[in-house]
Amino acid sequence: MKYKTIFEPFKIKTVEPIRITTEKQREHYLKKAHYNPFFLHSDDVLIDLLTDSGTSAMSAAQWSAMMSGDESYAGAKSWLRLEKEIHDLTGFEFILPTHQGRAAERILYGYLGGKGKVFISNTHFDTTRANIEFTGATAIDIPMPESSMIEFDHPFKGNMDTAKLESLVETYGATNISAIILTVTNNSGGGQPVSMHNAREVSAICKKYKLLFILDCCRIAENSYFIRNREKGFKSKSYRTIAQEMFALADGCIMSAKKDAFANIGGFLALKNKHLAEACTNLLIITEGFVTYGGLAGRDMDAIAVGLQEIFDPDYLHYRISSTGYLADHLHKMGIPLIMPSVGHAVYIDAAKLYPHIPVQEYPGQALVCELYLKGGIRCVEIGSVMFGKYDARGKLIPASKELVRLAIPRRVYTQSHIDYVIEVFEEIIKAKESAHGLRITHELELLRHFTAHFEKI
Ligand SMILES: Cc1ncc(COP(=O)(O)O)c(C=O)c1O
């Protein structure tokens, strides 16, 4: 389009009201939620940027496909449609439906894991890491070195450090390495994309050492957008073809359909190897359900099948990446420190840099999360020492490598005015910077503590 306005390539048919709240009310809600926005009621939130997972607005085509959902226990038509769609897209022969991404992770990594086993990734997502560590195995992150330079401009900061990958294979021995997981885009590494060149290199190393290469592909369409627009040699290819080229490099994939499949629930595991697929099928039946529904209703499978086609629409992808980029550029110009270059599904703010007066032990990221809710009713998530911090033997916090806050943008849900509102709230955040204060944890669970921790103000 010749005009500069970011144009949402859809019309709104159904609306959901947003209840307007005051700062005073939000102060009360936040205290009641123990300063952890996961405990807030959604009705008390103005703009919900907690996650882009399962929060998409479905299209008319998806809703109508849901009406033809076949709820048969076995061999449902919905399953056959979904299976065909996944097969056509990924090329993998064995497809196991699951109720969401982490169920596929638990099945595959539960089977492959165990004490003494090692998994290596550009960055394990939190549920990926938790599922691996739960088996007693070790999860090692090897993002490229530039990924830790928050404002450093590089087109593919989600890449894996392939030199390190080879040296780790030497260190641990190929037989002890259960899988190499390439997460595209690299969510916990700032949502940065992975280049095809990097995927090819990872694939070649996996072939050389006979290692299993798994793609965590829940944002594969957004990743394909970056490859087409940032990597040489892809301009004339469609986004779907680029995704297919990446799938062809791997031995299997795990997908949370709650992201780049525009679905509110669902996921799958797809594999090349029959023996591995059979082992996983055993586990699927025990916990998820029969092989042709895996914990999903027929109508959900139809929604995913349609979503997997819609996500590669060039107009949608252009709007999606431009809209997130618009938010990132405005915040950057305002002086908010954030991971650059901008990515597809979220903006990641460096809270430690924004609040240098709050030590990591007092969780600057959580402080910003609370401020954004208080000042503007915006809900988002800390991706720092609350999420990834550990304790040493004496109970001292071992902080995460970064103190980030993620503003994830649900797909097709908010308009450009909502994005402008978020930018305006940040003007307030900057003005009130000095008065933000840290928090201490008063209650936590052992695994994935960020979901359920309670905090109090310091
Ligand atoms: C990269 C990545 N992998 C796995 C998952 C887990 O998927 P789910 O939330 O569907 O269990 C997520 C969810 O956010 C993710 O971003």
Mutation to probe ligand 1, out of 217, 218, 296 (largest number of atoms < 8 A from CB): 218
- Token readout for 310 is 């819609």
Q: Amino acid identity of 117?
A: K
Model pLDDT, residue 112: 98
Model pLDDT, residue 188: 85
Model pLDDT, residue 434: 95
Q: Output b/e per residue, 426-440; b: 16+ Cβ within 10 A.
A: beebeeeeeebebbe
Rg of the chain (C-alpha set): 21
Model pLDDT, residue 148: 87
With beta carbons less than 8 A apart as the criterion, state whether 363 and 438 touch.
yes
Ligand 1 and 183: CB distance under 6 A: yes
Model pLDDT, residue 30: 97
**Strands in 72-144 per DSSP E:** 94-98, 118-121, 138-141
Mutation to probe ligand 1, out of 124, 187, 188 (largest number of atoms < 8 A from CB): 187
Beta bridge partners of 270: 95, 253
246 CA distance to ligand 1 centroid (A)?
19
253 CA distance to ligand 1 centroid (A)?
13
Ligand 1 and 102: CB distance under 6 A: yes
With beta carbons less than 8 A apart as the criterion, state whether 381 and 50 touch.
yes
58 CA distance to ligand 1 centroid (A)?
19
C-alpha dihedral (256, 191, 148, 400), degrees to nearest 10: -50
127 CA distance to ligand 1 centroid (A)?
7
* CB neighbour list of residue 17: distance below 8 Å, 6 or more residues apart: none
Model pLDDT, residue 98: 98
DSSP secondary structure code for residue 75 in this structure: S
Ligand 1 atom nearest the C-alpha of 257 is 10
* CB neighbour list of residue 190: distance below 8 Å, 6 or more residues apart: 147, 150, 157, 158, 339, 343, 348, 404
Residue nearest to atom 9 of ligand 1 (CA): 101
431 CA distance to ligand 1 centroid (A)?
35
Burial class (CB in 10 A: 0-12, 13-18, 19+), 394: exposed
Ligand 1 and 192: CB distance under 6 A: no
- Rounded Cα distance, 118 and 441, in Å: 31
Ligand 1 atom nearest the C-alpha of 103 is 11
Model pLDDT, residue 388: 87
- Rounded Cα distance, 321 and 58, in Å: 18
- Rounded Cα distance, 345 and 325, in Å: 10
Residues of the chain with pLDDT under 70: none
DSSP secondary structure code for residue 6 in this structure: P
- Rounded Cα distance, 64 and 194, in Å: 34
Q: Amino acid identity of 181?
A: I
HSE-up of 284 (CA within 13 Å, CB side)?
Answer: 27
DSSP letter string, 294-310: TT--HHHHHHHHHHHHH
Model pLDDT, residue 126: 87
Beta bridge partners of 379: 48
Model pLDDT, residue 302: 98
Q: Amino acid identity of 303?
A: A
